Every structure is written in structure tokens, then in C-alpha cells.
Chain A
């Protein structure tokens, strides 16, 4: 227990937390911008409120959805710049929560943005620390400490557990038959109009079994990413590939999930320093001699 606590509350830099804040806020703004919430609210007159959406007596109106969308995008962008974080971040989060609630209250609950929203809760909980660097009108501290480490590391733990629990539920409800049966083939065939990739895999039972085994192994082993940092080079690209393949074959968009994974696990100050070094002009021999 002490080791787990030491891991979560290990020091990180203010710049790393700021990098995660900027990435998650830009991703949230993008997710809010690309979806047509008002059309969805207008189309789905049947309102099956999920969880907190019980506070609404009926499906929120298209007008309200449009206002929340605009407000959410503006607040998320301001939060990415680090402006008035204690207001902009919660406003962006609440707008997204209601808009996701609209999508989740038409009969089917979508997991897709859940990891993004959970990670945003942690950035909100970090308070002013999230705006200590890489922000307009910020102290631009080069601080280091657990103050910046715990939100990032808790987000890492949450992401690793999310993938693990996705595997855990497959073991729980289906067992090894999830791999050995024709389950994956039926998932691919069951679409209204399966595309070429879906049919290519579904028509080849051995390939379908191999891909099912790979996906289950990846999700089951995902928590290793926390203990063996070198495995991040293997497991993160594998998870991204899995989500992209699902997007192509099943047309299910899990980009919010895999982008959250990348944003939280990449050490952005290292990337920025590397880019600066790479792009910095090389001094000519005459300048070097001065």
C-alpha cells in the first residue's frame, strides 16, 4: 500500500501537468465541436434518462444543446490557454457532461468519452497546479513535486484499470470462449453493412481467433504499463492500433479514449525540448568562433 502511495504521489514537473491539461482541453473542445448534438436531441424524442440525466424531465431541447456546445467549446479552449482555470475547466466539464448525457439517454450508454471525462475530473481536482506553467498570465513555474505528480499518475492508474476491467468483464461473462468461439466473427457480420476489412477478418476464422486473443491479452496485461515503463513503447501503439482497426472495421469511434491514453502517458516537456533542439538553427562556423 505504501509503495502504491509513493508511486501515485511521486514528483512530476509543472510543465508535464500543463501539457496534460492542454492536451485534454483541446481534445474536449474537438470532441464537442465535431458532434451534432442539437440534431441528435431533435431526432431522439424518446428520452431514456441515464443516471444524472434524471434531473431533466424530457430530452434537452436542440436550442439548449447548441448553447451548451458553444459554451463548452469556448470554456475548453480558454482552459487550454490556462485562463481562469477554476471557472473555465468546471464549465467545460459540466457542458460536456450534459451533452454526453444527451447521447447516453437515447437507449444506449456510450463508453467512448468516459476516460477523457475521468481524466478531466483529475485536472479539475489539481486546482491551480494545472495552470502553473504553459499558461497565459501564469507564473510559469519550473516547479517539481507531488503537487504536479498525483493528478497525472492517478489518470495513468485510471486508464490502466479501464483497459484491465474491459478484459475482466470479458473473462467474467464469456471466459476463454471469447477467443475460441466465433464471437468476433458474429460481431463483424452483425453490422448492417460490413465493409471490406470486417468481411476479410470475419471470413477467416483463424485470423478472427488470433485478433480476439491479441485484444484480450493486450487488455488483460495493460496494467503492466504502470510497473514496466519500457512496455509503454509496445502497449500504447498496440492499443492505438486496436482502436483504429475497430474504427475501420466496426465504425466505432474510440478516438477520445486512445487520444486520452496518448495525452496522459506522453512526457510532453521532453517532446517539446526535443522539438526545440531539432528546430533550433545550427550555428555557422563563423558564429561558433566568436
Chain B
């Protein structure tokens, strides 16, 4: 019978301990996940965020973005992609789910969240 190495016992304690702590805290220290898969309740309204980018020669509509996208970081990334951007408008889009009636889908409703410009952001009133 071949024994386990001496480091095996403390290793298992730390490894399983990390798994438990990350789940309970919760912490997402990937691959030690917090395992929060679909854990929060959904409702029939789906929110998404889109950006409309105006640059010198292009106008890009409805670029999907995350809810916490900051103006400065986003302006930097669109400048790298499309050239100097003159303005970015971020909208929240609300969509009501069909509840079995796909023949009459509700139109999405959009609200301006913030208008970003190289000089600074202007929040929607």
C-alpha cells in the first residue's frame, strides 16, 4: 500500500476550504467560483444597455455594453476602434417578455442614461 505524500492533508484542507469560503463569502476567485448560477429571481422585464457612438465619419448605433460602463473607459475603447469619438450616448433598454404571446411582442422602451463627450459626462435628468 502506497501512502499519500505528507503535503496531501494540509493541501486538501486549504483547497476545500478555499472552495467553501468562496461560496459562502461569496468571492469569485476563478476557478474558485461563487457558484451563483441563475441564483437570483428574474422578472418579466429585461434590461439591457446600449451605446450610440458618433465619430467623425461613422455613427454606430446600439453597441451592446454592460450596466456599469464608465464614460472615460468607454470613450477610450471606441476611440481605439472607430477613431476620435465626438460623443457617446448610453441608453437603458427595457423589454417586456412575451409570456406566451409571441405574436404581439411589446416594443422595447429606451431611456437615456448618460451622454459622454471627450470634455466630460452629462447625466440624463
B-binding residues in A (CB < 8 A):
5, 8-9, 11, 45-46, 48, 50-51, 97, 100-101, 104, 107, 109, 111, 113-115, 117-118, 121-122, 125, 127, 129, 143-150, 154, 157-158, 161-162, 165-166, 168-170, 172-174, 177-178, 181-183, 185-187, 189-190, 199, 202-203
Decide: B23 and A169 in contact? CB cutoff 8 A: yes
B residues with a Cβ closer than 8 A to A are 1-5, 7-9, 11-12, 15-16, 19-20, 23, 26, 28-44, 46, 65-66, 69, 73-74, 77, 80-81, 97-100, 102
State whether A111 touches B41 (Cβ < 8 A).
no
**What are 11 contact pairs spanning A and B, CB under 8 A?**
A45-B77, A109-B33, A115-B31, A154-B15, A162-B19, A173-B36, A182-B44, A189-B99, A190-B97, A202-B100, A203-B100
Within the complex, what minimum Cβ distance (angstroms) separates A39 from chain B? Answer: 15
Q: Which of B8, B80, B97, B102 contacts A9 (CB 8 A)?
A: B8
Residue of A nearest to B42 (CB): A186
Query: What B residues does A143 contact at CB under 8 A?
Result: 2
Q: Which of A97, A125, A144, A189 has the most CB of B within 10 A?
A: A189
- Report whether A147 and B3 are in contact in the complex, using a CB–CB cutoff of 8 Å: yes
Q: Is the CB of A145 within 8 A of B3?
A: yes
Taking CB atoms, residues of chain B closer than 8 Å to A162 are: 19, 33, 35
Q: How far is the CA of A238 from the CA of B5 in the complex (A)?
A: 35
Closest chain B residue, CB of each to CB of A174 = B41
Chain A residues with Cβ under 8 A from B41's Cβ? 173-174, 177-178, 181, 183
Contact B19 A127, beta carbon cutoff 8 Å: no
Q: Which residues of B contact A121 (CB under 8 A)?
A: 15, 31
A146 adjacent to B2 (CB under 8 Å): yes
Q: CA separation between A125 and B5, bound complex, in Å?
A: 10
How many A-B contacts are there with CB distance less than 8 Å? 137
**B102 to A: closest C-beta gap in Å:** 7
- The interface residues of chain B, by DSSP majority, are classed as loop
Closest 9 CB pairs of A and B: A145-B2, A169-B39, A117-B31, A186-B42, A147-B2, A165-B23, A165-B35, A189-B97, A146-B4
User: What separation, in Å, do the CA atoms of A237 and B40 have in the docked complex?
Assistant: 26
CB atoms of A173 and B39 under 8 A apart: yes
Query: Is B29 in contact with A114, judged by CB distance below 8 angstroms?
Result: no
B71 CB, nearest partner CB in chain A, Å? 13
Given the known A-B contacts A111-B33, A169-B36, are A46 and B28 also in contact in the complex, defined by CB atoms under 8 Å?
Answer: no
**A127–B6 alpha-carbon span in the complex (Å):** 12
| A114 in contact with B30 given A46-B74, A154-B16, A157-B16 (CB within 8 Å) | yes
CB distance from B58 to the nearest CB of A (A): 15
Contacts of B16 in A (CB 8 A): 154, 157-158, 161
Nearest A residue to B11, CB-CB = A125
Q: What's the Cα separation between A109 and B31 when bound, in Å?
A: 10
Q: What distance in Å separates the Cβ of A255 from its nearest Cβ neighbour in chain B?
A: 15
- Considering the chains assembled together, what is the distance between the CA atoms of A48 and B74 in angstroms? 11
Q: How far is the CB of A124 from chain B (nearest CB, A)?
A: 11
A188 to chain B, nearest CB (A): 9
Give the distance in Å from the alpha carbon of A144 to the alpha carbon of B3 in the complex. Answer: 9
Shortest distance between the CB of A123 and any CB in chain B (Å): 12
A168 cross-chain contacts in B, Cβ below 8 A: 23, 35
B73 near A46 with CB under 8 A, answer yes
Give the distance to chain B from A142, nearest Cβ to Cβ, in Å. 11
Whether B32 lies near A127 (C-beta < 8 A) is no
Report how far A169 CA is from B12 CA in the complex, Å.
23
Nearest chain A CB to B119's CB is how many angstroms away?
A: 21
- Expressed in whole angstroms, the minimum distance between the Cβ of A136 and any Cβ of chain B is 21
Q: How far is the CB of B70 from chain A (nearest CB, A)?
A: 10
